[in-house]
Amino acid sequence: MATIPRLMRKLGKKAYDVYIVGGYIRDRVLGREAKDYDFAVLGDAEEVAKLAAEVLGGKIVPFMAEKGTYRVLVGEEILDFTNLRGENIQQDLAHRDFTMNAMALRLKDYFEFEYIIDPFGGLEDIKSRKIKHVADYTFREDPLRALRAVRFAATYKFDIEEETKKKIKEEAHLLKNVAPERIMNEIFIIIKEKDSHKYLRIMEEMGLMENIFEEVARLKEVGKCYYQLVNSWIHSIRAVEEYENIINTMRFPKDVTDLLRDYLERPLSSENKVKDIIKLAILFHDIGKVESIYIDIENRLHFYNHEIKGAEMIKKMGTRMKIPRKEINLLKKLILYHKKPLDYYLEGVNNKTLFRFFYHLKDNVIGILLVSLADYTAARLSFGKVEDIPRYENFIIKLLRRYVEFKETEKPLLSPLDIILNFDVKDGKKLGQILYEIRKNRFYGEIKTKEDAIEFIKERMRVEKI
């Protein structure tokens, strides 16, 4: 918090020509801590940025100099200095996105609320917890602001004003011109919220997603079928809601809960965690249905192998939207296998099948089981078949407990060195096969101790010599 006063003292008379603008004022009004500062400069923003870097012991880093913005890093704090747009601060604020961000304070007045420059009623809108666009051209200047409105609603738990919603809906098509990296950054911020399903519904209401993902418009055309009472997109949003209910309440045995939390909190290649990518996978788990429609002789819809087609489509979509490769690979697995648990539930499953499932997918089995549970729960709720849900939930818990048992077999009863020295196994492929078979039979419950493992190898060797 000492950054601004230090800057004021060092800038001297120049502080009259520098304004704190935007989110920093909003957050201070809300009583939130802020580490990012935006400054509008009447004059030379580059000169002020260099002076700020010098007096604060920071450094200038490349940012958006071509647009008149210069960034200074001071420890973990970010200071952006931008040349005023227009002849004065009021004209500059007219080009901000929302009224709560269209406020300014002359640096020399830091931080006296009565001197806040608020030409569009931002203070009142913050008090009313409203997100309101500044001008008729707000979204034409930067269409990404439509998503930012939802992001602010999710982050601050504000409501988007109705006229602003209407304007966003009218100009949602402009999002098609925005760089995919910028779009995905906003979407990931939104889905990180514990109750993101509420904001996905707001996005749906304003027609945003179908103007970002061409696949969404087609999903809306996929109507009800034997397993769904609503179109596939509405079902998918409801499935996200059920997933959030599942991971927010964690009604599982302790050993399962510990396993889930460890898996869900794992970081990926960006700032995303596994739990965020699972949410995105659920949102698009039915993406393959648009290319897998089959109508039988009784005029019923089927979507045979839609999970295979979905995995192909999510890879293309992820590449198009510049999603990191590690996240795309996880999305593909979750969508490709999301039907497996339900198949096991309906058809039955044995140890052999489960072991192969667990061994092939490892910890991503957890994500697949959660996707399946959310999918099934949403579908049964749509049909009013609430009584079916506890049975399937118990089945998923049973599989999760079996996976806990599978994880326990990761630590071998016999080390590779034990087997090499005691059984003269020198071939690496044969050694790997023995370790695999011991682990498999432990999972089956046929090997329980080190002695059992030794006897298993002895018998295997005896059979091989016959």
**259-289: pLDDT as tens digits:** 999 999 999 988 899 999 999 999 999 999 8
CA 239, CA 372: separation in Å to the nearest integer? 9
In a domain, 255, yes or no: yes
CB 97 within 8 Å of CB 104: no
Task: For residues 330 and 425, state if they share a domain.
Answer: no
- Cis amide leading into 120 (omega within 30): no
- The torsion defined by the Cα of 447, 452, 457 and 460, in degrees rounded to 10, comes to -70
Task: For residues 436 and 344, state if they share a domain.
Answer: no
How many other C-beta atoms are found inside a 10 Å radius of the C-beta of residue 143?
Answer: 22
> Cα 306 from chain centroid?
23
Task: For residues 90 and 53, state if they share a domain.
Answer: yes
CA 168, CA 147: separation in Å to the nearest integer? 9
CA 383, CA 86: separation in Å to the nearest integer? 57
User: Band of the pLDDT at 463, cuts 50, 70, 90?
Assistant: confident
Phi/psi of residue 36, nearest 5 degrees = -110, 135
Residue 20 β-bridge partners: 39, 105
CA 200, CA 190: separation in Å to the nearest integer? 8
Compute the mean pLDDT over every residue in the chain, rounded to the nearest whole number: 91
CATH assignment at residue 192: 1.10.110.30
pLDDT at 69 exceeding the cut of 50: yes
pLDDT at 65 exceeding the cut of 50: yes
State pTM to two decimals: 0.90
pLDDT of residue 226: 47
CA 371, CA 383: separation in Å to the nearest integer? 19
pLDDT at 30 exceeding the cut of 70: yes
Report in angstroms the alpha-carbon separations of 180 from 154, 229, 331, 409.
Answer: 20, 32, 17, 43
**pLDDT tens-digit map of 95-139:** 999 999 999 999 888 777 789 999 999 999 999 999 999 999 999
User: Band of the pLDDT at 454, cuts 50, 70, 90?
Assistant: very high
Task: For residues 118 and 168, state if they share a domain.
Answer: no
Mean pLDDT of 393-417: 95
Phi/psi of residue 57, nearest 5 degrees = 70, 30
Helix/strand/coil (H/E/C) assignment for every residue in the chain: CCHHHHHHHHHHHHHHHEEEECHHHHHHHCCCCCCEEEEEECCCHHHHHHHHHHHHCCEEEEEEHHHCEEEEEECCEEEEEEECCCCCHHHHHCCCCEHHHCCEEEHHHCCCHHHCECCCCHHHHHHCCEECECCCCHHHHCCCHHHHHHHHHHHHCCEECHHHHHHHHHCHHHHHHCCHHHHHHHHHHHHCCCCHHHHHHHHHHCCCHHHHCHHHHHHCCCCCCCCCCCCHHHHHHHHHHHHHHHHHHCCCCHHHHHHHHHHHCCECCCCCEHHHHHHHHHHCCCHHHHHCCEECCCCCEECCCHHHHHHHHHHHHHHHCCCCHHHHHHHHHHHHCCCHHHHHHHHCCCHHHHHHHHHHHCCHHHHHHHHHHHHHHHHHHHHCCHHHHHHHHHHHHHHHHHHHHHHHCCCCCCCHHHHHHHHCCCCHHHHHHHHHHHHHHHHHCCCCCHHHHHHHHHHHHHHHHC
CATH assignment at residue 62: 3.30.460.10
- Domain end, chosen from 181, 212, 243, is at 212
Task: For residues 112 and 249, state if they share a domain.
Answer: no
- Domain end, chosen from 86, 107, 128, is at 128
Mean pLDDT of 284-310: 79
pLDDT at 228 exceeding the cut of 60: no
Mean pLDDT of 140-169: 97
Q: Which residue has the higher pLDDT, 173 or 43?
A: 173
Residue 133 β-bridge partners: 98
Task: For residues 237 and 369, state if they share a domain.
Answer: yes
In a domain, 455, yes or no: yes
Task: For residues 121 and 135, state if they share a domain.
Answer: no
pLDDT at 459 exceeding the cut of 50: yes
pLDDT at 196 exceeding the cut of 60: yes
Both tokens of 134, joined, read 């500044």
- Domain extent for 436: 416-465
Number of structural domains the chain divides into: 4
In a domain, 313, yes or no: yes
Task: For residues 191 and 313, state if they share a domain.
Answer: no
In a domain, 404, yes or no: no
- Domain end, chosen from 396, 424, 449, is at 396
As a residue count, the chain comes to 466
From 283, 398, 377, select the one nearest 334 (Cα to Cα). 283
**pLDDT tens-digit map of 339-387:** 999 999 999 999 999 999 999 999 999 999 999 999 999 999 988 899 9
CA 17, CA 106: separation in Å to the nearest integer? 7
- Name the residue with tokens 């999972």: 443
In a domain, 11, yes or no: yes
